[in-house]
Amino acid sequence: MAEGLFWCAALLLLHTYFFYPLILCAMDGMAQVFQSIRFMRTGSNRRRERSTGPQPSVSLVVAAYNEASCIQQKLQNSFALKYPEDRFEVLIGSDGSSDGTDELVRQWTDPRVRLSPAPRAGKTTVLNRCIPMAKGDIIVLSDANTMIEPGAIEALVRHFDDPEVGAVCGKLRLYNPTKQDYEESAYWNYESFIKFYEGKRGSVVGANGGLYAIRRTLFTQLPPSTIVDDFVIPLRILENGYKVVYEAGAVAHEETTEDYGKEFGRRARIAAGNFQSLKMVPGLLLPTAGFPAFAFWSHKLLRWCAPALMAVALLANLFLMDSLFYQFTLFFQALFYALAYLGKAGVLTGTGKRIASVAYYFVTMNLAIVVGFWRFLRNAQKAAWDRTARASS
């Protein structure tokens, strides 16, 4: 029994972190081979021609809570984006801001800027209010402290020429102006790699709040208690049979925080919201959903189970010490957790420091899942968000 539990936990962990990305790559390789064969037989690769008509109208919707430190920069960034002026607007939904954010937005006389203030109720309530009142056919959602590259909107919008596409996820790049977060950048590169290949199959599992776009007609009101709106909104669109794709050319930049306590709290909040989201997209839990269900289970559900799987693998291994092989597996598990501790202590240098930092990052990420799950069970995670302070330059 111990051996069965060990291998079940180990294989599930290997699947979610290693096998699943490899499967995505293999599936893409096979698709390219079949496309080449079709081209040789028919002389056509059946690619969709880009629309030659007018570009769709776009509303950039930003939920803002006490963003006085960056809202002016956000507006300047928004109007530097390459998109037809007569088909673009910026809608700022203020969630009871008390630091002068609303006054700073009102200073903009450009008629394309609209402010929708309301008492504090949470980001989901802001989106429920602002998206239906937006004028654009396409809604681009972004955060106030996320700066978007000039060509990103055009890169997102071009995918909606395909009527089967319901949402497009952009690429978020995190940066720290005072130091290089190796482990954070490595994780985001890994996640972007997975999203890229999921996007080729139209099944990106969730977006990031920094930059993604949806068809306005596909938005449905969310429960006000929703914690991770940027996860649930694309999943609902995917559940309804539309494609959710990834556009690596639509890039946004966001500054990270050096307050690790707040960062851990942010991860725990997201984890609580992830567990909450299960009841909102029940269709993706069923095999009848096809590849989107496979992606959801492989990329997300098993990740959320990783802390339990790690514990099972370690405890089961303790009952298998009569085998040299399992002595080695226990040794490597112990070594990994020791590296995580050294990563926290910061006593190593060079390559050793990087390896230890990645181990520590992985362990704390999974500890945040445990904390988030506990908050979810107790219904202790509030929907209203507190902005994470940007690192000081």
Q: Which of 277, 265, 143 is nearest to 223 (CA)?
A: 277
Provide the 10 A C-beta neighbour count for residue 65. Answer: 21
Q: Provide the token pair at 390.
A: 């940007």
Looking at residue 203, the DSSP 8-state letter turns out to be B
Q: What is the pLDDT of residue 392?
A: 32
23-66 confidence digits (pLDDT tens): 999 998 887 777 777 666 665 445 455 556 789 999 999 999 99
154-196 confidence digits (pLDDT tens): 999 999 999 999 999 999 988 776 665 556 677 888 999 999 9
Q: Provide the token pair at 219.
A: 């938005």
| CA atoms of 326 and 3, how far apart (whole Å) | 9
Could you say which residues of the chain have pLDDT below 50?
44-45, 47, 389-393
Grouping H, G, I as helix, E, B as strand and the rest as coil, residue 390 is coil
Q: What is the pLDDT of residue 349?
A: 85
For strands 138-143 and 113-118, give the pairing.
Answer: unpaired
Q: What is the pLDDT of residue 182?
A: 57
Q: What is the pLDDT of residue 53?
A: 73
Alpha-helical runs (H) found in 15-122: 20-42, 71-78, 101-106
What CATH superfamily classification does 58-259 receive?
A: Spore Coat Polysaccharide Biosynthesis Protein SpsA; Chain A (3.90.550.10)
Question: Which value, to the nearest 10 degrees, does the dihedral of the CA atoms of residues 334, 336, 342, 348 take?
Answer: 130
| CA atoms of 134 and 220, how far apart (whole Å) | 14
For residue 159, CA distances in Å to 18, 72, 202, 246, 378 come to: 29, 29, 11, 9, 41
Task: Count the alpha carbons within 13 Å of 261 in the hemisphere toward its beta carbon.
Answer: 0
Q: Which of 131, 377, 122, 134 is nearest to 224 (CA)?
A: 122
Provide the 10 A C-beta neighbour count for residue 50. Answer: 8
Provide the 10 A C-beta neighbour count for residue 15. Answer: 16
Long-range contacts of 10-19 (CB under 8 A, 24+ apart): 10/309, 10/313, 12/302, 12/305, 12/309, 13/302, 13/306, 13/309, 13/310, 13/313, 15/298, 15/302, 16/298, 16/299, 16/302, 16/303, 16/306
| CA atoms of 299 and 41, how far apart (whole Å) | 36
Whether residue 183 contacts residue 189, with contact meaning beta carbons closer than 8 Å, is answered with no
Kindly report the pTM of this predicted structure: 0.90
